Amino acid sequence: MPKKTAASLTANRSALSHRVAYALRNPGRIAPYVRRSVRDTWLSAKYPNHVDYYRAVMASDTGRNPEAAVGSQSHERWLALGAMQFDYLAEHGLAPGHRMLDIGCGNLRAGWRFIQYLDAGNYYGIDISPDILISAKATLTTYGLQDRLPHLTLTHDLTFDFLPDGHFDVIHAHSVFSHSPIKVIDECLAHVGRVLAPGGFFDFTFDRTDGVEHAVLREDFYYRTETLTALASRHGLVARFMDDWEERPHGQSKIRASARP
Ligand SMILES: C[S@@+](CC[C@H](N)C(=O)[O-])C[C@H]1O[C@@H](n2cnc3c(N)ncnc32)[C@H](O)[C@@H]1O
């Protein structure tokens, strides 16, 4: 994945001029984009609710290739993206005794590493997609992690109403808000504080724009940092931009939120 540049951080990918210029530079991407647009129109009409819509997107993508469905075009990239997430958290506070909630865990691209590292039973992965959770179970089998007894749960919203107060030391959402309208992020930030343990933190990535906030189809959402830090603040959280994540070869940025002291 390319590193961020000044041009990529100010581009408005939903603008017609951007799309035409991109198509001229990348003619090979026109046909896949048209296919995605047709699917987007069809699924948007069928599923007004965003979670229902995105669950259908995941069903379609996972049916073709589960690793590509979570954003990795090759197995090497799938391994590298998982390692990048794991290494960062291990260097930034994750300890084996911690209890971790992985929101939008996908097919455990990073999750299998967290599961291997954490004490048995301390990993909790949730996702809206039954298809990707079936693939997650296959990943557990591949890595022989059955005795780590992770929890994998299908969810429909981000209220965490089925989880206990003050339980998780580390909450993590990688490449989830990049696929979420602001209403879904708001719901998450409104409720995540309740399930955070004292001293715990919530790390999430997002597709950052320093220009106009925009969405590509209903799949990819670009936010300004201050929109998300202000939203976290409205829900009693202190949020800070993780500068050193920017050094990683990853297209998204990262914010850490914790309870306001
Ligand atoms: C790009 S994948 C990333 C998966 C995983 N975090 C990783 O990095 O490998 C995004 C995942 O988030 C899930 N997802 C999207 N919106 C969600 C939501 N509102 N609540 C929970 N999971 C969600 C998708 O089903 C998908 O598995």
pLDDT single digits (tens) 99-129: 999 999 999 999 999 999 999 999 999 999 9
* 97 assigned to some structural domain: yes
What's the mean pLDDT in 226-238? 98
- Alpha-helical segments (H) within 27-175: 30-46, 50-64, 66-69, 75-91, 111-117, 130-142
What CA–CA distance (Å, rounded) separates 83 from 34? Answer: 33
In the numeric block, the tokens 């090979």 are attached to 28
* 79 assigned to some structural domain: yes
* 59 assigned to some structural domain: yes
For 51-96, the pLDDT digits (tens) are 999 999 999 999 999 999 999 999 999 999 999 999 999 999 999 9
Q: Quick check: CB of 252 below 6 Å from ligand 1?
A: no
| Burial of residue 224 (number of CB atoms within 10 Å: 0-12, 13-18, 19+) | middle
pLDDT at 22: 81
In the numeric block, the tokens 């001293």 are attached to 199
Tell me if 257 sits within 8 A of 103, measured CB to CB: no
Look at residue 259 and tell me whether its pLDDT is greater than 80: yes
35 C-alpha to ligand 1 centroid (Å):
22
Tell me if 14 sits within 8 A of 216, measured CB to CB: yes
Q: Quick check: CB of 79 below 6 Å from ligand 1?
A: no
Look at residue 156 and tell me whether its pLDDT is greater than 90: yes
* 214 assigned to some structural domain: yes
What's the mean pLDDT in 153-181? 98
Which tops the pLDDT comparison, 28 or 184?
184
Q: Quick check: CB of 70 below 6 Å from ligand 1?
A: yes
Tell me if 99 sits within 8 A of 168, measured CB to CB: yes
* 188 assigned to some structural domain: yes
* 225 assigned to some structural domain: yes
Looking at the structure of the chain, the number of domains it has is 1
The encoded tokens of residue 170 equal 């580390």
In the numeric block, the tokens 């202000």 are attached to 230
Look at residue 215 and tell me whether its pLDDT is greater than 60: yes
Residue 174 CB: number of other CB atoms within 10 A? 28
pLDDT at 1: 54
Q: Quick check: CB of 132 below 6 Å from ligand 1?
A: yes
State the virtual CA torsion across 175, 180, 182, 183 in degrees, nearest 10: -130
* 1 assigned to some structural domain: no
**Phi and psi angles of residue 173, each rounded to the nearest 5 degrees, phi first:** -145, 105
pLDDT at 11: 87
Mutate to test the pocket of ligand 1, among 70, 78, 207, 220 (most ligand atoms within 8 A of CB): 70
pLDDT at 168: 98
Look at residue 162 and tell me whether its pLDDT is greater than 80: yes
pLDDT at 18: 81
Each as own residue / partner, the long-range contacts of residues 64-68 (CB below 8 Å, 24 or more positions apart, any chain) are 66/107, 66/131, 66/132, 66/135, 66/138, 67/107, 67/109
Domain ranges, residue 217: 6-259
Q: Quick check: CB of 180 below 6 Å from ligand 1?
A: yes
The encoded tokens of residue 127 equal 């996702």
Look at residue 38 and tell me whether its pLDDT is greater than 70: yes
At 2, the pLDDT band (50, 70, 90 cuts) reads low
Domain with residue 186: its CATH number is 3.40.50.150
* 49 assigned to some structural domain: yes
What's the mean pLDDT in 149-156? 98
At 13, the pLDDT band (50, 70, 90 cuts) reads confident
